[in-house]
C-alpha cells in the first residue's frame, strides 16, 4: 500500500493506474477505522482494480461546539487496517493540503440539508459536500462507496453527483452492526459502559418499527408511536428525531412502503448517534 500525503504525487500515481486500464474506487473516511469502513473497501474491491482510501478529519464539517479536536485519530493503526484489507493507496493529507490559505469556495447543499442531521448540525453538509467534491476532483474515481448509516449524507452526495455532473457511480453499502444490533461508528468509542448498553435502544426502536411494518402495519403514525415508546423506556436517552422518510427526498412519508427509510438520531450521554433501516432491504441485523 502506498501512503500519499500530497495531491500532486497522488495524481501521478493514479494517472499510472489509469494508463494501465485500471478502474479506480474511492472510499472516503474520517479515519478511526472499524469493520464498517473495511466492508466499504470490500465493496470497492469488487468494482475496481485500484482502491483509494482517503483518511482526513475534515475540519469544515464540524461545528464550533462539536468534537473536531477530540475526534479519534490513529494514523498508524488505520494504516495497518487499510493495508491488511487490501487498500492500494491511502491518501492522508494534512488540512493545509486540502484547504490552502485563502480557500473560500464551498459546495452548498440543497434544502434537504436543513432537515434531520442538518437541523442540529448547521453547516455540516456544506463541509461534507465540499470535501467530497474536492476528493472526487483529486482522485477522479469511477466509483465511490459510502455507508448507509449516514443516509442523509449519502442522499446529498447522490444529489451533488447528479446536479454537478460528476461521472462517478455512487454505491451505498449496508450498515455493519455489533452482535447486539448497535451500528458501528467511530463515535461509539466515546460511550461509557452504561451508555454503550443504552445505545442499543436506537436499533431496537427502528427494528421494532421495521418488524411491525413487515407484520402489515403501514401507518407512519402507528409506527412512529411504537418506536417512540421503545425509546422512552430508556430514560437517559434523548431522542432528537425518529421518522419514516421517502428514500429519494428524505421528506417525512405519510405512509410507510417498501424502500421507505426509518431513521433515528438520539443523544446517549453526551454522544449523538444515528441509525436507520430501509424497509424491505436486507440488513446485517436481519
Ligand atoms: O462519512 C464520513 O466519514 C465523512 O463525512 C466523509 C464522507 C469521509 C467526508 O469527510
pLDDT tens string 155-187: 999 999 999 999 999 999 999 999 999 999 999
Indicate the helix (H) or strand (E) that contains 85.
helix 75-85
CB-based burial, 62-96: b 16+ in 10 Å, e otherwise: beeeeeeeebbeeeeebbebbeebebbbbbbbeee
- The whole-number pLDDT of residue 196 equals 98
Mutate to test the pocket of ligand 1, among 40, 53, 58 (most ligand atoms within 8 A of CB): 58
pLDDT at residue 254 tops 70: yes
Among candidate residues 175, 122, 168, 132, the one with its CA nearest the CA of residue 150: 175
Q: Which of 34, 37, 103, 218 is catalytic?
A: 37
Q: What residue ranges of the chain are covered by domains with CATH 3.40.50.620? A: 2-173
Mean pLDDT estimate for the chain = 97
pTM of the model: 0.97
Cα 29 to ligand 1 centre (Å): 5
Q: What is the topology classification, in CATH, of domain 186-278?
A: 3.30.1300
Q: What residue ranges of the chain are covered by domains with CATH 3.30.1300.10? A: 186-278
- Is 4 strand, coil or helix? strand
- Is 216 strand, coil or helix? coil
34 an active-site residue? no
Indicate the helix (H) or strand (E) that contains 244.
strand 237-245
Q: Does 234 contact ligand 1 (Cβ within 6 A)?
A: no
Pick the CATH number of 2-173 from 3.40.50.620, 3.10.200.10, 3.40.630.30, 1.10.10.350: 3.40.50.620
pLDDT at residue 284 tops 70: no
Amino acid at each position: 500500500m502506498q501512503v500519499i500525503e500530497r495531491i500532486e504525487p497522488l495524481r501521478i500515481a493514479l494517472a499510472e493506474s489509469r494508463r494501465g486500464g485500471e478502474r479506480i474506487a474511492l472510499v472516503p473516511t474520517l479515519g478511526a477505522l472499524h469493520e464498517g469502513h473495511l466492508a466499504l473497501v470490500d465493496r470497492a474491491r469488487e468494482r475496481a482494480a485500484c482502491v483509494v482510501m482517503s483518511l482526513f478529519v475534515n475540519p469544515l464539517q464540524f461545528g464550533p461546539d462539536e468534537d473536531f479536536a477530540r475526534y479519534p485519530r490513529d494514523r498508524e493503526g488505520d494504516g495497518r487496517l487499510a493495508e491488511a484489507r487490501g487498500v492500494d493507496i491511502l491518501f492522508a493529507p494534512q488540512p493545509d493540503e486540502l484547504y490552502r490559505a485563502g480557500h473560500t469556495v464551498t459546495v452548498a447543499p440543497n434544502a434537504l440539508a436543513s432537515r434531520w442531521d442538518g437541523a442540529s448540525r448547521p453547516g455540516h453538509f456544506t463541509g461534507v459536500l465540499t470535501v467530497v467534491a474536492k476528493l472526487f476532483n483529486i482522485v477522479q474515481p469511477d466509483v465511490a462507496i459510502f455507508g448507509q448509516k449516514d443516509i442523509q449524507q449519502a442522499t446529498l452526495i447522490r444529489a451533488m453527483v447528479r446536479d454537478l455532473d460528476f461521472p462517478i457511480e455512487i454505491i451505498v453499502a449496508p450498515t455493519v452492526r455489533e452482535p447486539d444490533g448497535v451500528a458501528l461508528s467511530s463515535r461509539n468509542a466515546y460511550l461509557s459502559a452504561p451508555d454503550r448498553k443504552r445505545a442499543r435502544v436506537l436499533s431496537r426502536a427502528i427494528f421494532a418499527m421495521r418488524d411491525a411494518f413487515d407484520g402489515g402495519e403501514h401507518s407512519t403514525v402507528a409506527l412512529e408511536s411504537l418506536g417512540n415508546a421503545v425509546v422512552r423506556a430508556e430514560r437517559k436517552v434523548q431522542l432528537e428525531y425518529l421518522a419514516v422518510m421517502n428514500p429519494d427526498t428524505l421528506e417525512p412519508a405519510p405512509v410507510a412502503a417498501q424502500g421507505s427509510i426509518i431513521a433515528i438520531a438520539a443523544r446517549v450521554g453526551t454522544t449523538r448517534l444515528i441509525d436507520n433501516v430501509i424497509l424491505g432491504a436486507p440488513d446485517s441485523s436481519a
